[in-house]
Structure 1
Amino acid sequence: MTSQNRPTPPATLEQQIADSLAALEDSDAEQLRAAASYLEALAAWTESASDGEPESDATADASVGEATDATGDVEHPADVPERASVTVKEIAGTTYHYYQWRDGDRIESKTVQQ
């Protein structure tokens, strides 16, 4: 990406946040993606905290309303491989299990409403 195409922060940001973003501008892509992932998780947590819902970080996601077997692992539906990762979210009082796994070069997914 050339310097002409370099993204700029939104003008509506508070100065302190804009300064924090400016400090990140020279970071490598891995560090920027890690920061972005954290900020997405923080935004989700902030939204859920303001709605009176439980926190939604990775630890809380893995424990909300899951069916577990004797070893404490999540029980996967019959058509979902055991190696699939699962994220559990509660939205408007309904619990959803999001399964995702790799099948060769493709990424497969399935959502199950509980």
Structure 2
Amino acid sequence: MSYEPPTPPATLPTEIINTLNETSPEQLQDVATYAEALVEHKEREARLGKSADQEGVEERPDDLPDDVPAKATITIKEINDNRYYYWQWRDGDKIRSQYKSPVNPDE
């Protein structure tokens, strides 16, 4: 690992770079975790927006629980270095999730 500080992306605003440079390692870990979750959320929102624009309704998957709507999608969440599948769907202004199964690393 280099002893030189990393070069920030040119697309980041100076205010964010300055704030990150003044942040403790523990807080940077929290920022990284939050940023990854936020990316996943925004990508999911974009996918949900695209799927809402598509015409036609897909058939209900066989493994979809009764209390999960047909519009639900599967996402992967990492918790304590373990990966799990979750059903996720929009319910008004909220995103709901329900556990599905662990991710099989052999897939």
Give the TM bin, normalised by the shorter chain.
0.3 to 0.5
TM-score by length of 2: 0.46
TM-score scaled by structure 1? 0.43
